[in-house]
Chains A and B, each alone.
Chain A
Amino acid sequence: MQPSSAQPVSPGEYLVFRLAAERYALLGSHVREIMRWRSPTPIPGAPPLLPGIINQRGQILAVIDLRLLLALPAAAPDRATRLIWLHHEEFDAALLVDSVDDLIAIDATQLEPSPANMPDPAQRLIRAIFRYHDQPVAVLDPAAIFALAQEAT
């Protein structure tokens, strides 16, 4: 089954995290848990974007390397690396990110539309922008994460 199409960006609590030098965010209601990195069990024939599966409290989660989904260069995990348990509709996954910064409340006035001239895949994944410590934070669309992860390249 395909994830449903993008939904409007809502104010609320956002989890802010880092990938390379950039900050991204997910609406907190889509985040079940934040886990420390551990090596996933590889799935034969899966692309590097999907490095394996983990067990988190009895739930089997596929790991999605968010750097690779956003066409950023791959990076080796370190002490700051985290896995974010993302839940959207009937889909669950563990997103591999460089580090997690904060959970912050964002109101509607802080949310700006995403720039229209972004290249793919950012164009499909980023739904809005807000400022955090004077730096832009890109709000990711969970439905687009699952849809893009499913598409063959």
Chain B
Amino acid sequence: MILLLETTTRRYLCRQHDVDAIGAPGVADRDERGRPIIRRQLGPLLDPADPPVAGRIHALRIILRRRTVELVVARVDLLVEAPVIHPLAAFVSARLQLPWVYGVALLAEQPVVALDLRRLAADLALGLQLAHSQEAQ
């Protein structure tokens, strides 16, 4: 199953099984098993032109061995009909800073990027981010 994620200005897809839980963002800095929580706004994490979401927001929780990652988005929808996800062209995937995008699908004729959220979460836990996020810190 595929989830459609909305940030302030962008839409992304991800595999539902990459996400362990969806709910309201927490404020605690550790989860119920004592793992530190890394909490990030998905929009600005991926695109410096995408402002943080405000108001009613949702958190996608991805549990790793030693960390839990919460990715904050504006909206989450389960797509009843899974779109066909096409792999990125080789000359594009070879140039990505981090391999967080595994494909592209067309939704209402608009391209939407499909994210590997488990890889993204694992990289965040290792302190890896896209260049614009590192510069912003």
Show the binding face of A for B, using Cβ within 8 Å: 1, 40-47, 49-50, 52-55, 58, 60, 62, 91-93, 146, 149-152
Interfacial chain B residues near A149, Cβ < 8 Å? 91, 95
- Cα distance A151–B89 when bound, in Å? 13
Set B46, B89, B104: member contacting A93, Cβ < 8 A? B89
Interface size on B, as a range, is: 20 to 34
Interfacial chain A residues near B91, Cβ < 8 Å? 62, 91, 93, 146, 149-150
Contact in complex: B106, A60 (CB < 8 Å): yes
Contact in complex: A41, B88 (CB < 8 Å): no
Shortest beta-carbon distance from A48 to chain B in Å: 10
Set B47, B94, B101, B104: member contacting A60, Cβ < 8 A? B104
Interface hit among B21-29, B73-81, B110-118: B110-118
Question: Known contacts A53-B104, A55-B106, A60-B104: does B96 contact A150 (CB below 8 Å)?
Answer: no
Q: How many A-B residue pairs have CB under 8 A?
A: 72
**Quick check: is B135 within 8 A (CB to CB) of the other chain?**
no
- Cα distance A94–B98 when bound, in Å? 23
Shortest beta-carbon distance from B74 to chain A in Å: 17
| 29 A-B pairs (CB sep. < 8 Å) | A1-B90, A43-B92, A43-B96, A43-B113, A44-B47, A44-B96, A44-B101, A44-B115, A45-B46, A45-B101, A46-B97, A50-B92, A53-B92, A53-B104, A53-B111, A53-B113, A54-B111, A55-B106, A60-B86, A60-B106, A60-B111, A62-B89, A91-B91, A149-B91, A149-B95, A150-B90, A150-B95, A151-B94, A152-B95
**Which residue of chain B has its CB nearest to the CB of A2?**
B90
Which A-B residue pairs are the 6 nearest by beta carbons? A150-B91, A44-B46, A45-B97, A45-B96, A41-B111, A149-B91
Show the binding face of B for A, using Cβ within 8 Å: 10, 46-47, 86, 88-92, 94-98, 100-101, 104, 106, 109-113, 115, 130
